[in-house]
Structure 1
Amino acid sequence: MRSLIQKFDLVVAGHFAIDKIELGKTRIVRVGGPPFYSAVAASRLGVKVAVLSKVGGDFPRSYLEILENEQVNIDFTQIVEDVKTTSFHIKYINNFRKMKLEALCHGLLPEDVPTNLKAKAVHIAPIANEVPHETFERLRKIADIVCLDSQGFTRRFDEKGNVELKEWRDKRFLEKTSILKADEKEAACISGFSNPYKAAEKIAEYGVEMVIVTLAEKGAILYCDGKIHEIPAYPVRVADLTGAGDVFMGAFIAEYIKGKDPAWCGCVGSAAASILIERNGLLRFGFKDEIYERAEKLYGMIG
């Protein structure tokens, strides 16, 4: 008997993380990774979200309960009891982030992607090279819109686990990607250009339909159909930057699959990220009304 198709608006694929964060004299341990930040951000904007991930036996079940409370489906998250969850030590110094990989869970394999899983969009967002090309090929077949976060592909780790950036040479991923998100340094690793505008144009030449380059407090640029859109940042006092890029992307995709204008989607992403970074705590996400209020102000600034 064939399995019933399980349909979602968005599937987020990649590792959860246990983040050990230093903010000045403050020490915080909490859940992280795109399956948390992107998924909850999208769910708060009213889309049906599932996560596909792997965690170790040390992953607190309370974190999964939080996701369920946020209406995120966790049925496709595997718990591998005899390994540890991917874990990072993250230290902030004047908004500069230094990261060290402390543990790495098993990677995502093609057979981990259920044949009956379907979505409007899939967001493939590794954080430590846990998605090989074979798994990417399987994931892209579950959705019409294939979104990719470059962070996990451009990272390398030295013998002590310190995170460094590397050139991303395997352009096969880019040929079949609808939307790619990279920060300024990651975009340079992919394109060879330090100028984010030139980087976005170069990445599009590899076959990416839409390129988003996030620029921290300067906002983001969005390149599609041969045009650059500048997305403003909403001015806030920063409390905690962790997860900002993931929230931006989760909110962006949530609006994009509703058929909204890409520039509006970028403003919603920027607004959602602004709320996250000005707050402390685990559930720093905004709700739909406050996100849209800020997004409308940003959208009005775009010429």
Structure 2
Amino acid sequence: MREYDYVVVGHLTVDELWSDAGVKLRLGGAASYGSVFASGLGLSSVVVTKVGEDFPQQYTEYLRSMGVDLSGLARSQHPTTRFRIFLREASVVASMVCRSAPILAADIAHFRGKVIHLGPVAGEIPSETVFQARENSEVLALDLQGILREFGASGELKLNPARLEPLRGISLVAHANWSEAVAATGIGDPVLSAKILMKTFGLAAVTMGADGAIVAGHEGTLRVGAVKLQGS
């Protein structure tokens, strides 16, 4: 079994950014952001993912140049997961164009991490994979985003809290943004929704952009301010 400080599991994506200026492509997915950040901290990091033959070579070269181990990257007959994101003045509207193959328990069986971060974006991580990740990690973190998401025939996105049911009671760190926390709990107050998620999973973080985050554990609840970058 290969051991790492940080293992991130989830689809690497190709994101189409549509705006008045035209269309730009970028590398997306929590697996890309998380692995690069962890590697930048000097941690050994590996991505476990599935992409299609259409996945751009420059993206793999970029990740390797940042020190990310890609031994967990598998090529699928399915195309790479792709999102179409419309950037508007007051909002961002996203839809899914196509989705790659699911990441199965067998795909992560030989990877062990001090931290395993499950970062699904399109329902690609089944519950069996979550159970396997729990066995292979000291700390397991899960982004609820890609579990909650459902996609219609035209790729339109909605959040379905029923998709969390198979995972209830698993000890992990649950992360959701404010809208995802509302969808998961039915509660608009971020503190209360974080507490509900904590009771379900053990530890929970609800992020609120510039308003910071709420972290809830059995010992209490903490409000964390957002870091203000110079010039912002």
When normalised by structure 1's length, the TM-score is 0.72
Return the match for 2:97 from 93, 97, 102.
102
Offset, 1:210:
1.7
Identical residues among aligned pairs (%): 27
> Could you say which residue in structure 1 is the equivalent of 2:169?
175
Change beyond 3 A, Cα 1:24–1:223: farther
Contact 2:109 2:132 (8 Å CA) reproduced:
no
**Larger strand fraction of residues:** 2
SS at match of 1:7: strand
Change beyond 3 A, Cα 1:198–1:39: same
Count of residues paired in the alignment: 232
Contact 2:49 2:72 (8 Å CA) reproduced:
yes
> Could you say which residue in structure 2 is the equivalent of 1:222?
215
Give CA-to-partner distance per residue, 1:127-174, whole Å, 9 cap, x none: 000111111111221111010000101111111101122224433424
Return the match for 2:226 from 233, 255, 280.
233
Change beyond 3 A, Cα 1:213–1:193: same
> Could you say which residue in structure 2 is the equivalent of 1:55?
51
Q: Which runs of 5 or more residues in structure 1 are unaligned? A: 237-273, 279-303
Return the match for 1:212 from 202, 205, 211.
205
> Could you say which residue in structure 1 is the equivalent of 2:136?
142
Return the match for 2:32 from 23, 32, 36.
36
SS at match of 2:179: helix
Give the whole-Å Cα distance in 2 for the aligned partners of 1:89 and 1:227.
Answer: 39
Give the whole-Å Cα distance in 2 for the aligned partners of 1:145 and 1:168.
Answer: 25
Change beyond 3 A, Cα 1:42–1:6: same
Please say which of residues 128-137 and 166-175 is displaced more in the overlay: 166-175
Return the match for 1:88 from 69, 83, 88.
83
Which structure 2 residues correspond to residues 1-303 of structure 1 after superposition, within 5 A? 5-80=1-76, 82-94=77-89, 96-115=91-110, 117-206=111-200, 208-235=201-228
Contact 2:149 2:157 (8 Å CA) reproduced:
yes
Give the whole-Å Cα distance in 1 for the aligned partners of 2:87 and 2:207.
Answer: 19
Give the whole-Å Cα distance in 1 for the aligned partners of 2:162 and 2:134.
Answer: 19
Let me know the Cα RMSD of the aligned residues. 1.8
